[in-house]
């Protein structure tokens, strides 16, 4: 039963991820069309995708409703989310550089490999650290 729950959490996590990517790409494109400098557009678009990820994964993927979590716990969870995503972004950049620059792999192939690695790490870290709860509720979730 637990492995079935983890499978459905992983599936929901990846569906949220697809939506995040769509938000990121569409907002980035819209901001470019409106004349926004591309680095600023990327920061805004990535931020919008991260906010969407945090809200949907918190409420639906890992079922940690805000009504059951105190304000300090919500802030702590938000900080863990931001830190975890920053770490994963750094790892993504490092792995992409390693695969393409050091080992001469094609950029697209590298991106696919890195995505598989970071999706798995992101799910695990989100489940076990970012959205984890302590105490008796952790055992029931």
pLDDT per residue as tens, the chain (141 positions)? 678 888 888 899 889 989 988 898 788 889 889 998 777 777 788 789 889 988 898 888 887 555 566 778 778 888 998 999 889 888 888 888 898 889 998 887 887 788 788 888 888 898 888 878 664 444 444
Closest CA relative to residue 133, chosen from 64, 79, 71:
64
CA–CA gap between residue 14 and residue 11 (Å, rounded): 5
pLDDT at 140: 43
CA–CA gap between residue 99 and residue 4 (Å, rounded): 34
pLDDT at 69: 65
Sign of torsion over alpha carbons 111, 94, 120, 85: negative
CB-based contact 21:53 (threshold 8 Å): no
CB-based contact 97:113 (threshold 8 Å): no
- How many Cα atoms are found within 13 Å in the side-chain-facing hemisphere of 96? 12
CB atoms closer than 10 angstroms to residue 26: 13
CA–CA gap between residue 38 and residue 64 (Å, rounded): 35
pLDDT at 138: 43
pLDDT at 126: 83
Q: Output the pTM of the full model.
A: 0.68
């Amino acid at each position: 039963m637990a492995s079935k729950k983890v499978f459905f959490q992983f599936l929901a996590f990846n569906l949220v991820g697809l939506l995040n990517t769509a938000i990121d790409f569409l907002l980035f494109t819209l901001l470019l069309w409106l004349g926004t400098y591309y680095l600023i557009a990327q920061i805004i678009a990535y931020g919008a995708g991260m906010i969407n990820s945090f809200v949907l994964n918190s409420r639906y993927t890992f079922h940690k409703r805000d009504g059951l979590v105190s304000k300090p716990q919500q802030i702590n969870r938000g900080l863990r989310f931001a830190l975890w995503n920053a770490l994963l972004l750094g790892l993504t950049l490092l792995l992409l550089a390693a695969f393409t620059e050091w080992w001469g792999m094609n950029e697209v192939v590298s991106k696919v490999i890195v995505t598989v690695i970071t999706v798995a790490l992101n799910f695990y870290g989100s489940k076990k650290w970012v959205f984890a709860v302590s105490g008796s509720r952790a055992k029931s979730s």
